[in-house]
Every structure is written in structure tokens, then in C-alpha cells.
Chains A and B, each alone.
Chain A
Amino acid sequence: GESVGLHLPTLSVQEGDNSIINCAYSNSASDYFIWYKQESGKGPQFIIDIRSNMDKRQGQRVTVLLNKTVKHLSLQIAATQPGDSAVYFCAEMNTGFQKLVFGTGTRLLVSP
């Protein structure tokens, strides 16, 4: 399930399930969006990106959906594996300012 509190929102899934991580972005002028995976004590790792002229993009086991109307971004991970356990951040950019703004993050816990 998903929980929100004083700590990072956490999504707990079973190995093999599909995971959906959501993100609400703040700037309607943002036109480029990226999902990052961050493991404990490491820097963010690029997963997938999408530009504002698209509403869906697929990678290997991952899909990003963009809904500009409600300023919502989601990351879908198919057949989630224990190695997918990490904190996932969405980031938005207004390319006019070339500055990445990170969301609050969601911790994904995958149990075998």
C-alpha cells in the first residue's frame, strides 16, 4: 500500500507486481520531465524522460505518463524486482531556465 506521513511516501509491492509511482508537478511552464532512481548513499540515476509534447513514453520495463491538464506524472514499472527498491524522484524543467526541480520522492519497497 501507499502511505504519506512525516517520512517519504512509501509504496510496498510484491516481486513481480506492477508498480505505479505518482508525481504532481508545480510549474505549468515546465516542458521537460525526468524520473530518477536513487539508492541509499548514491546519486540519482536517470530512468526515463518525456517532453511536454508527448503524453506517454516507454522504456525497458518502465513507462512514463504525462497529464499536463492536471500537472501529473507517473512512472510505471512492470514486473517489479527487488533491485528496483529505491527512492524515485520526478524532476521538472522549464527549458527556458534550464533548471531541474525535484519532487519530494517516493520510496519503493519490493519484497520477494
Chain B
Amino acid sequence: GAVVSQHPSWVICKSGTSVKIECRSLDFQATTMFWYRQFPKQSLMLMATSNEGSKATYEQGVEKDKFLINHASLTLSTLTVTSAHPEDSSFYICSAALTSGGPGDTQYFGPGTRLTVL
């Protein structure tokens, strides 16, 4: 149980285009979903926290107009990288929590999406 999927698993796009990444909780409802970015040989950095039906909370330094997050249902959150540039190339990982992401509410991670911007 507690499986999180991401689609696509990898994407290559041209500079200036927008890319949408989906994160789905397959067998549970997730009130809160999180989006992380991971550069090669580095750790995961939280980009934003999204709660179903409300606006996402972005971490300092993350541009909300560039990384659009929509959490329209309890099983789906999307991250859209708008006007992507090569420096946006990274591994994007989502996680989903059963309730509010506190202790005991384990975050279940998706398999990640590799974005390469040419």
C-alpha cells in the first residue's frame, strides 16, 4: 500500500517550453503533497508544499510563477515548469502524506521525474 506514482518518468524539452509533471497517490488520499528538486549528487531540496484545494506554499527562493503547483484532488498534484531553461534540468520528486505531514504521517515518495532542458 501507500504507492505514489509520477508521470512522466523522464522528459526532454526545448528551452522556453513548459512541462507538466503529475504526482498521484494510487491507494490513499493525500491531504498534503510535497515537491522536491534534486540535482546530481546532491540532496533533496523542498520546493513547495501543496494542500488539496488551496494555494501551495513555496520555499524561499523558489519562484511560484515559474513552478506552478496545482493540487486539485486528494490523489493528484501537478507541477508545471514554465518557460523551462537548462538550469531547470533536475530530478523532480513528489511525496504524499496521509494527513498533514506530521510525525507518524509518513511521506511516501514517488519515483521521480528526470527533466532535461535543451
A43–B49 touching, CB < 8 Å: no
Closest residue on chain B to residue A46 by CB atoms: B106
B102–A99 touching, CB < 8 Å: no
A99–B46 touching, CB < 8 Å: yes
With A32-B103, A51-B103, A100-B34 given, is the CB distance from A44 to B41 under 8 Å?
Answer: no
Chain B residues 91-118 with CB under 8 Å of chain A are 93, 95, 100-103, 106-112, 114
With A31-B103, A49-B106, A100-B34 given, is the CB distance from A43 to B111 under 8 Å?
Answer: yes
Distance of A60 Cα from B107 Cα, bound (Å): 20
Contacts of B110 in A (CB 8 A): 43
Name the contact of B93 in the complex, choosing from A31, A34, A44, A101 (C-beta under 8 A): A44
Distance of A7 Cα from B44 Cα, bound (Å): 15
Interface of B is mostly: strand
A89–B44 touching, CB < 8 Å: yes
A8–B41 touching, CB < 8 Å: yes
B54 at the interface (CB under 8 A from A): no
**Chain A contacts to B: CB under 8 angstroms:** 7-8, 31-32, 34, 36, 41-46, 49, 51, 89, 93, 95, 98-105
**Chain B contacts to A: CB under 8 angstroms:** 4, 6, 32, 34, 41-46, 49, 93, 95, 100-103, 106-112, 114
17 contacts between A and B (CB under 8 A): A42-B112, A43-B93, A43-B95, A43-B110, A44-B93, A44-B109, A45-B109, A46-B109, A49-B106, A93-B103, A98-B101, A99-B101, A100-B46, A102-B44, A102-B45, A103-B43, A104-B42
